[in-house]
Chain A
Amino acid sequence: MSTIVIGLSMGLLLFLLAAGLTLIFGMLRVINFAHGSLYMLGAYISYQVVQLTGSFWIGLAIAPVVAAAIGALMERLALRPVYDRDHVYQLLLTFGFILVIEEGVRIFWGLDYKQVSPPALLSQPVELFGSSVPSYRLFIIGFGALVSASLFVMLDRTRYGMVIRAASGDPDMVRTLGISVSRIRTAVFAIGAGLAALGGVVAAPLLPIELGMGFSVIIDCFIVVIVGGLGNIRGAVLAALLIGMTRAIGYTYAPSWVDFLTFLLLIATLILRPEGLFSRKGRTA
């Protein structure tokens, strides 16, 4: 039972991150290399807020807003001037931001591990179907599902989501309708950055907060995105859950091989279905 809970919680956490990445890619055609750094930043901000206020929940509210603001600045100042160039330059820029964000974190918080404990409300394990599971994991599952669901509702049902989808398909058309595409781009990049930081806050009580955490998670995100099908947000859900479950099962039965299992999934995908395990053929993005 606890394997399933751990797998689901990891999967939903990964999805929060992959969703931001996919959203940005779908709208801006930019792969945000700095996504992992924003996730790390979220975790550090959460730590700082807990230090100052003692409340996990305030951190959960503040960190995404800060990260979204930083994301908006990144998009506005760096990416916007290079949209009409080769996509390589946008990738390179986001790579540059990894270095800057990591350095900023090092200056502010130093090299030591930081830790955040789960909120008091969720620190006790609970009984579920006869086995004891950490309640914080259950919270992640619920919270992750809630955020994912609202994301889908936002994209599919609201006017705002409709505009985003239209703008990612045909920016010129949307522009002629009098909607500011550049403002949508900034907003989408900010939302993506906020989602990354949200993931960082939620993950903070589970693992040591350290400088390398952004990079290991970005690799997992990339694997989710490729296994799920490039730019396919529904594929990303399934891929994230698949990878989360794979890791959880791996931890139980072959802990020293866990890191390789996800790569195995990636390589199997590339060989069998390079367009992504969950993509429907002939349908793009």
Chain B
Amino acid sequence: MSAARERDRERDRAAGAGEDMALSCRDIEVAYGAFKAVSGVSCDFRQGRLYGLIGPNGAGKTTLMNALCGRARLSRGRVFLGGRDITGLAPHARTHAGLGRSFQITQIFPGMTVFENLRLAAQAHRYRLQPFWRAAGGFAAIAREAERVLAEIGLETFGGVNAGNLSHGDQRALEVGLTLLSEPKVLLLDEPLAGVGHGDADKAVALIRRVAKDRTVLLIEHNMDVVMAISDEIVVMLGGEILATGTPEAVRSDPRVRSAYLGEAE
């Protein structure tokens, strides 16, 4: 059993799931009954680059993200983070390993203040075993972390506000802040601009650019102008498979993409 697994690892290394890649997956498949939402996807995300993940609705983009961060069960294939096989890890363990994730539907802690939201993320990152012997307010280090990110996402003045009462754009920013506190090397952002008003969109794009500076980012986004403008590379999905990858220019002029995706959109 373990010998077989060892052999698998060898083969994966040979197949190029290399240490220089921030995040890779090899031949992964997510099946719901007979329906394969992601089917045989292999791809590599290099250190420090921003990848735009595009494709029509139902192409499997979110499912691919779920597979990478451990929320969807793989029926086949392996996932590597910085060369380390994380296939068997639970989502929280992948977070600790350096993989952050934001969601299409905003996932924050409503009913708590913005600061409390961030402090929770800070303590989740810092402690494997949550301290229980004195009040959370007494832990200065996690409070400092929370304050730092509060400033980074531009919500300094909203620390005491109930997170549920923030504007939608600010909630999206808070969500990015929550993922930043786990000091991710790789960030998966699922439509961070969805539903964000025009005024806030520029702010949000600036925030994405800022967090992408020293990280690998995989971004799902439907606004083509934004994706093409900020991505280093584009990954196009269709029917649970990867249709094409390349620079924005290359993808834009790829006839397969044009017919399958852009053609459909126009």
Task: Write the residues of chain A forming the contact surface with B, with a CB cutoff of 8 angstroms.
Answer: 280-283
Cβ-closest chain A residue relative to B35? A282
Closest CB in chain A relative to B239 CB, distance in Å: 18
Distance between Cα atoms of A127 and B35 in the complex (Å): 51
Residue B199 CB within 8 A of the other chain: no
In this complex, the interface size class of chain B, counting residues with CB under 8 Å from chain A, is under 10
Residue B32 CB within 8 A of the other chain: yes
Measured between beta carbons, the chain A residues less than 8 angstroms from B35 are 282
Residue B263 CB within 8 A of the other chain: no
Residue B137 CB within 8 A of the other chain: no
A-B contact count (CB 8 A): 7
Interface residues of B in 31-57 (CB under 8 A from A): 31-33, 35
Cβ-closest chain B residue relative to A281? B33
Distance between Cα atoms of A136 and B33 in the complex (Å): 43
Cβ-closest chain B residue relative to A283? B33
Distance between Cα atoms of A281 and B35 in the complex (Å): 11
Measured between beta carbons, the chain B residues less than 8 angstroms from A283 are 33
Distance between Cα atoms of A24 and B31 in the complex (Å): 30
Closest CB in chain A relative to B194 CB, distance in Å: 21
Closest CB in chain B relative to A132 CB, distance in Å: 47
0/1 per residue, B15-37, Cβ < 8 Å to A? 00000000000000001110100
Measured between beta carbons, the chain B residues less than 8 angstroms from A281 are 33
Cβ-closest chain B residue relative to A284? B32
Closest CB in chain A relative to B111 CB, distance in Å: 13
| 7 contacting pairs across A/B (C-beta < 8 A) | A280-B33, A281-B33, A282-B31, A282-B32, A282-B33, A282-B35, A283-B33
Closest CB in chain A relative to B42 CB, distance in Å: 23
Closest CB in chain A relative to B121 CB, distance in Å: 24
Measured between beta carbons, the chain B residues less than 8 angstroms from A282 are 31-33, 35
Measured between beta carbons, the chain A residues less than 8 angstroms from B32 are 282
Distance between Cα atoms of A283 and B31 in the complex (Å): 11
Distance between Cα atoms of A58 and B35 in the complex (Å): 51
Measured between beta carbons, the chain A residues less than 8 angstroms from B33 are 280-283
Interface residues of B in 112-133 (CB under 8 A from A): none
Q: Which 3 A-B pairs have the closest CB atoms?
A: A282-B33, A282-B32, A283-B33
Distance between Cα atoms of A280 and B33 in the complex (Å): 8
Cβ-closest chain A residue relative to B33? A282
Closest CB in chain B relative to A52 CB, distance in Å: 53
Closest CB in chain B relative to A214 CB, distance in Å: 38
Distance between Cα atoms of A281 and B33 in the complex (Å): 6
Measured between beta carbons, the chain B residues less than 8 angstroms from A280 are 33
Distance between Cα atoms of A282 and B35 in the complex (Å): 9
Closest CB in chain A relative to B128 CB, distance in Å: 26
Distance between Cα atoms of A63 and B209 in the complex (Å): 69
Closest CB in chain B relative to A34 CB, distance in Å: 31
Distance between Cα atoms of A125 and B79 in the complex (Å): 65
Q: Which of A280, A282, A283 is the most central at the interface, judged by chain B CB atoms within 10 Å of its CB?
A: A282
Closest CB in chain A relative to B259 CB, distance in Å: 31
Measured between beta carbons, the chain A residues less than 8 angstroms from B31 are 282
Closest CB in chain B relative to A6 CB, distance in Å: 37
Distance between Cα atoms of A282 and B72 in the complex (Å): 11
Distance between Cα atoms of A190 and B137 in the complex (Å): 51
Distance between Cα atoms of A138 and B33 in the complex (Å): 39
Closest CB in chain B relative to A79 CB, distance in Å: 25
0/1 per residue, B136-176, Cβ < 8 Å to A? 00000000000000000000000000000000000000000
Closest CB in chain B relative to A149 CB, distance in Å: 27
Distance between Cα atoms of A281 and B32 in the complex (Å): 7
Distance between Cα atoms of A283 and B32 in the complex (Å): 8
Distance between Cα atoms of A280 and B35 in the complex (Å): 13
Distance between Cα atoms of A280 and B32 in the complex (Å): 10
Distance between Cα atoms of A282 and B33 in the complex (Å): 5
Closest CB in chain B relative to A234 CB, distance in Å: 15
Distance between Cα atoms of A283 and B34 in the complex (Å): 10
Cβ-closest chain A residue relative to B34? A282
